[in-house]
Amino acid sequence: MIQTPALTEDQAPSIRDQIVEAADAHFSRYGYAKTTMADLARAIGFSKAYIYKFFDSKQAIGEAICTRCLTPQLATIAAAVEAAATPHEKVRALFRTSVKQCQEQFFTDRQLYDIVAFSRSENWASSARYVADLNALLESIIRMGRAQGDFERKTPLDEVCRGIWIAMLPFVDPVLLQHNLDDVEDGLPAVIGLILRSLST
Amino acid sequence: MIQTPALTEDQAPSIRDQIVEAADAHFSRYGYAKTTMADLARAIGFSKAYIYKFFDSKQAIGEAICTRCLTPQLATIAAAVEAAATPHEKVRALFRTSVKQCQEQFFTDRQLYDIVAFSRSENWASSARYVADLNALLESIIRMGRAQGDFERKTPLDEVCRGIWIAMLPFVDPVLLQHNLDDVEDGLPAVIGLILRSLST
DNA sequence: CCGGTGACCATATCGTAATCTGGTCACCTT
DNA sequence: AAGGTGACCAGATTACGATATGGTCACCGG
């Protein structure tokens, strides 16, 4: 199956890509709500109706933008986890960089942060994937930690992951993080410490 | 200093009490926002201005109602903690009954629940006291658990309490609890278990 | 002085008519 | 058929005057 046209070396960007690019620019400048489909259409020089040949809805475009934000964040987190030596350190790295990424986006790209937060609160597919991936990563770390004998093994794996995720919610959920920004400095280490102690044998 | 008039056995309720009573009735029927000071005034048969001789603001009345809700809840929680045998059980009792109280109020007195939630989100004195009291209770339990050798003692007490509180936020904060009602059944035991494991030696 | 109030003000809230926006569809052009 | 569009619609949103509300104050009667 041919994946892309791939006719020329630096081919003209596909219409779809143009839409995403325009959406990124507009969303990050004016926000999701205040950007209209007409704005996007004008930006790419086609009619509004044409956009619907590539995206089912405005939300679908929003999800694409979210994925665009979230994918590199996930990669950074995965890299940090990779770089950490012990399972303990990996758990710490997972949550510390996860929160740091969120915070950074909050201060540099407030508009996009709001979209991501909204996406999370509405449980869009883009956010659902991100959450699922983070949880899978967490689970794999705990599995490894158990295999190496660093973590306790009595509690059901699912329950442990569930508990950790909920405990981290105030920092890991963008909507909640907004209200807890001041608590990150002191509170985050406290919760991570709590989690690490709960995992220890 | 004389605390109450205390002239007759079942004396006429003080104006202040009448106001609180009327507020309780109106708030729980129509909600905080839709109850006007004029409504309250009419209910007690005095003028609106007169209410301000007893309360500085509508919010002050709201706080009185919150305290009225929260005080018995706190008593119930304290009793449950008292009844529990071990520090482990006391921690479990603290959070289980705390959440149960919230849930019950949510289903039986939705309007009042909303006021309490609002009070919490705005950090009114009524809620601040409740939170402070719960935290003090938690701290005393952990102190006892440490003294008895049931809980680990390395981690600073403050940090432990802080971490536990934040981890429980999704269930202990009325605003968040609303969005997590479905997660209580599975999630709450998971988080409490997590906390208990983190406390163990 | 104590118990109590009507009239008043700035702001919040509401009702609603006008406008805007997401989304659809028949249809056009090449 | 493939690429593309204007015109249209129901419901969301806005603008804004009218109304309602929290709060204050000078003042009244005994």
pLDDT tens digits for range A96-111? 999 999 999 999 999 9
Q: Do the domain assignments include residue B9?
A: no
Which tokens belong to B86? Answer: 């071990």
Residues 70-99 of B with CB under 7 A from strand D: none
Q: Do the domain assignments include residue A64?
A: yes
**CA-wise closest residue to B38 among B27, B49, B25:** B49
Residues A67, A152 share a domain: yes
Instruction: Tell me the CATH number at A108.
Output: 1.10.357.10
* H or E stretch at B42: helix B37-44
Q: Do the domain assignments include residue A9?
A: no
CB atoms within 10 A of CB A25: 13
Which nucleotides of strand D are protein-proximal, with an atom < 7 A from a CB? 4-7, 20-26
Residues B63, B43 share a domain: no
pLDDT attached to residue A2: 31
**CA-wise closest residue to A145 among A201, A103, A185, A101:** A201
**CA-wise closest residue to B132 among B57, B58, B70:** B70
Residues B119, B159 share a domain: yes
Q: Which residue of A162, A193, A199 is in closest CB contact with B187?
A: A162
Question: Gap from B49 CA to C8 C1', in Å?
Answer: 12
pLDDT band (50, 70, 90) for residue B13: confident
Q: A198, A200, A201: which to substitute to probe chain B, counting the most B Cβ within 10 Å?
A: A198
Instruction: Tell me the CATH number at B21.
Output: 1.10.10
Half-sphere exposure of B163 (CA within 13 A, CB side): 26
pLDDT attached to residue B104: 97
Residues A100, A27 share a domain: no
Q: Which nucleotide is nearest to B15 (CA to C1')?
A: C3
Half-sphere exposure of A178 (CA within 13 A, CB side): 12
Answer yes or no: is pLDDT of B140 > 60: yes
Residues B133, B90 share a domain: yes
A163 contacts B193? CB cut-off 8 A: yes
pLDDT attached to residue B9: 40
**What digits encode the pLDDT tens for the residues B160-185?**
999 999 999 999 999 999 999 999 99
For B67-86, what is the mean pLDDT? 97
CB B127 within 8 A of CB B119: yes
- The whole-angstrom separation of Cα A44 and Cα A31 is 18
Residues B183, B97 share a domain: yes
**Number of folded domains in chain A?**
2
One digit per residue, the tens of pLDDT, for chain A of length 201 reads 233 343 333 456 789 999 999 999 999 999 999 999 999 999 999 999 999 999 999 999 999 999 999 999 999 999 999 999 999 999 999 999 999 999 999 999 999 999 999 999 999 999 999 999 999 999 999 999 999 999 999 999 999 999 999 999 999 999 999 999 999 999 999 999 999 999 998
Residues B151, B68 share a domain: yes
Which tokens belong to A99? Answer: 């929160």
Question: Gap from B49 CA to C10 C1', in Å?
Answer: 17
Q: Which domain holds residue A46?
A: 15-51
Which tokens belong to B105? Answer: 């109020």
CB A113 within 8 A of CB A174: yes
Q: Do the domain assignments include residue A188?
A: yes
Which tokens belong to B98? Answer: 């705390």
DSSP B6: -
Q: B99, B131, B197: which to substitute to probe chain A, counting the most A Cβ within 10 Å?
A: B197
Answer yes or no: is pLDDT of B6 > 70: no
Residues B62, B109 share a domain: yes
**pTM, two decimal places:** 0.92
- Dihedral sign for Cα A74, A78, A84, A88, please: positive
Q: Which residue of A162, A167, A193 is in closest CB contact with B159?
A: A193
pLDDT attached to residue B11: 58
CB A40 within 8 A of CB A22: yes
Using CB atoms within 10 A of its CB, is residue B132 exposed (0-12), middle (13-18) or buried (19+)?
exposed
CB B129 within 8 A of CB B119: no
Question: Gap from B48 CA to C6 C1', in Å?
Answer: 10
Q: Do the domain assignments include residue B6?
A: no
Residues A66, A45 share a domain: no
- The whole-angstrom separation of Cα B28 and Cα B32 is 8
Q: Do the domain assignments include residue B148?
A: yes
How many angstroms separate the CA of residue A94 from the nearest CA in chain B? 17
A160 contacts B191? CB cut-off 8 A: no
